Amino acid sequence: MSEASASSLPADDGWEGHTLSITVTGEDRPGVTGTLLGAVAGIGAEVLDIQQVVVHGHLTLTLLLRPGAHVEQLRDAAAVAAHRLGLVLTVTEGSGDNARPRQGRAAVVVLGAPLQADAVSLVTTRIAEHGANIDRIRRLSRYPVTTVEFDISGADVPSLRTELALVATSEGIDIAVAPGGLARRGRRLVVLDVDSTLIQQEVIELLAAHCGREAEVAEVTARAMAGELDFEESLRARVATLAGLPASVLDEVRDAIELTPGARTLVRTLKRLGFTVGLVSGGFIEIVGRLADDLGIDHARANRLEIEDGRLTGRVVGEVVDRAGKARALREFAEQEGLPLSRTVAIGDGANDLDMLDAAGLGVAFNAKPIVQEQAQTSVNVPYLDSVLYLLGISREEIEEADLDDGTPTHAPPVPHASH
């Protein structure tokens, strides 16, 4: 028994019948759409398309109709409605429905604080030079960064991503290019690095502070994250400095940890969407596991410190979670969740995150070291971790409305002002 669906029905792309495009513009207020549609109702027109946009209180509303034999009646009815509403009316006769968007759907998300007109102009110029068309534009946020999403067609995602990466660097903005259409929707796995990504500190440095060797350890950590040292070798050397510390320092470090601004909002929103969230860290499960429990995170993988007689031995137990181990964890989490890698997002800041960022469907360098920004698919260089949500097409309004609905306090950061 075969199953019929809307997508399997014959297409009407070749229809070239008469159309009437009715557009009204002016001050937005409730009831405009209903009044205009009410005016043309009962005349016998078929609605082919409706599109509306409101920018700073200014409305543009367009109806595309198949008018039959009622062109003049529809014109007159629309004119009366527009006059009553105090709106400017434009009526255009044509033929055929809207052209179907070309293949190569993509979403281009641009973030800036501030987002200068020169930068946006350059982005749109590069899109056009690439041979792609901008089909829709919408703003995703106005604070703490301004974020605009371009829905485009006719794009080759990898090459456009490379072209716009040059614009991001020259203009000091962040740009993400991702496949559009169904690839933009559905459940995902989002995996985050912990130190200097989910949290603001490096845990091993907090531990080293308890034995007076924080500066020494911080220097080695910085070199490892910049890709100058082998991660496993540097980790074992740094952990060795902790030998003899009482295990109770782990509780003190847990209490000292500060989440990155927006971290709770990011995780909370992802979980509301039904997404799976994981943590992968070159740090320590004694800290990472507690963070995962506190935030309701699904998966956590990190190194384990060896403890004997209530004290740290200066060694780690088992296989080290290094650069390759992080990518392996991403793949394993995805397999456990029944998701392809194309449905994964990885977020990190250091050189040991590069394999994970490369393996993910979307790899995001978050306030990352230069070597990571150079190699990652996209970068976010604002100090708010929930800005990653914009890259997924989730708007600030949607986030705040969801918080309001369940009573979660929303603490809006200050709106940045452009410098002159």
Residue 28 pLDDT grade (very low, low, confident, very high; cuts 50, 70, 90)? very high
Whether 190-200+259-406 and 18-95 are alike in CATH topology: the answer is no
State the average pLDDT over residues 280-298: 96
One DSSP character per residue, 16-41 reads --EEEEEEEEEE--TTHHHHHHHHHT
pLDDT above 60 (res 154): yes
Give the range among 94-108, 335-349, 373-387 with minimum mean pLDDT. 94-108
Q: Is 193 part of the annotated catalytic residue set?
A: yes
CA–CA dist 233, 316 (Å, integer)? 12
Residue 298 DSSP label: S
Phi, psi of 330 (to 5 degrees): -55, -45
pLDDT above 50 (res 232): yes
Q: With contact defined as beta carbons under 8 Å apart, do 17 and 96 qualify?
A: yes
pLDDT at site 1: 47
> 3-state secondary structure string, 356-403?
HHHHCCEEEEECCCHHHHHHCCEEECCCCHHHHHHHCCCCHHHHHHHH
State the average pLDDT over residues 250-279: 96
* CATH code for the structural domain at 106-184: 3.30.70.260
CA–CA dist 396, 142 (Å, integer)? 8
Q: Which residue has the tokens 């100090």?
A: 383
pLDDT at site 417: 36
> 3-state secondary structure string, 50-106?
EEEEEECCEEEEEEEEECCCCHHHHHHHHHHHHHHHCCEEEEEEEECCCCCCCCCCE
Tell me the pLDDT tens digit for each residue of 104-137: 899 999 999 999 999 999 999 999 999 999 999 9
Residue 362 or 143, more confident: 362
* Nearest CA among 416, 387, 398, 378 for reference residue 108: 378
* Catalytically annotated residue among 28, 135, 151, 193: 193
Q: Global pTM?
A: 0.84
Distances (CA, A) of 42 to 20, 68, 77: 16, 12, 11
Q: With contact defined as beta carbons under 8 Å apart, do 61 and 85 qualify?
A: no
* Catalytically annotated residue among 13, 135, 156, 195: 195
Q: With contact defined as beta carbons under 8 Å apart, do 300 and 292 qualify?
A: yes
pLDDT at site 408: 75
Tell me the pLDDT tens digit for each residue of 186-228: 899 999 999 999 999 999 999 988 888 878 888 888 888 888 8
Tokens standing for 180? 């559009």
Residue 13 pLDDT grade (very low, low, confident, very high; cuts 50, 70, 90)? very low
Tell me the pLDDT tens digit for each residue of 74-99: 999 999 999 999 999 999 998 766 56
Domain 18-95 has CATH 3.30.70.260: yes
Residue 113 DSSP label: T
Strands 146-153, 276-284: pairing is unpaired
What mean pLDDT value characterizes the chain? 89
* Nearest CA among 75, 139, 137 for reference residue 112: 139
CATH among 3.40.720.10, 1.20.1090.10, 3.40.50.1000, 3.10.180.10 for 190-200+259-406: 3.40.50.1000
Question: What residue spans define the domains of the chain?
Answer: 18-95, 106-184, 190-200+259-406
